[in-house]
């Protein structure tokens, strides 16, 4: 059974940092692209970042480029999102999602339950 378990969310002050983790199980982690999608309170879905399973190439939304860093540790079956210089507008539930393919496409077949990030003073 495929499982994606996010962790690392919480309350952080503006300008602070957090690292989200997504522990994957039930599939060959290294063979699939992985992504983060977020949802601000009462709002729709927003794609944040994706990473290729083929070569680790990363892609970012303009709103997080230069502040967020996506990485993966295939030996630990874990996806990481390092979030720096956090802003109030980064407040959201962050979902980890497994891609259908090894290279990033907007096709996700499994999602985690989400981890909440609140940026506030």
Residues that bind other proteins (CB under 8 A): 37, 44-47, 50, 59-62, 95, 97, 100, 104-114
Closer to other proteins by Cβ: residue 13 or 113: 113
Closer to other proteins by Cβ: residue 86 or 93: 93
CB of 36 to other proteins, least distance (A): 11
* Cα dihedral 13, 15, 16, 20 sign: positive
CB contact at 8 A, 119 and 16:
yes
* Cα dihedral 1, 33, 114, 42 sign: negative
CA distance 111 to 99: 9
Closer to other proteins by Cβ: residue 16 or 103: 103
CB of 88 to other proteins, least distance (A): 21
CA distance 26 to 49: 22
Closer to other proteins by Cβ: residue 16 or 102: 102
CB of 75 to other proteins, least distance (A): 26
């Amino acid at each position: 059974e495929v499982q994606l378990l996010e962790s690392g969310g919480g309350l952080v002050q503006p300008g602070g940092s957090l690292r989200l983790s997504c522990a994957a199980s039930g599939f060959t982690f290294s063979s699939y692209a992985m992504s983060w999608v977020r949802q601000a309170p009462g709002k729709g879905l927003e794609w944040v970042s994706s990473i290729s399973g083929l070569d680790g190439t990363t892609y970012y939304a303009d709103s997080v480029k230069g502040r967020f860093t996506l990485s993966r540790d295939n030996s630990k079956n874990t996806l990481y999102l390092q979030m720096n210089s956090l802003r109030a507008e980064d407040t959201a539930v962050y979902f980890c999602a497994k891609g259908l393919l090894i290279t990033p496409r907007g096709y996700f077949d499994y999602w985690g339950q989400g981890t909440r990030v609140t940026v506030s003073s």
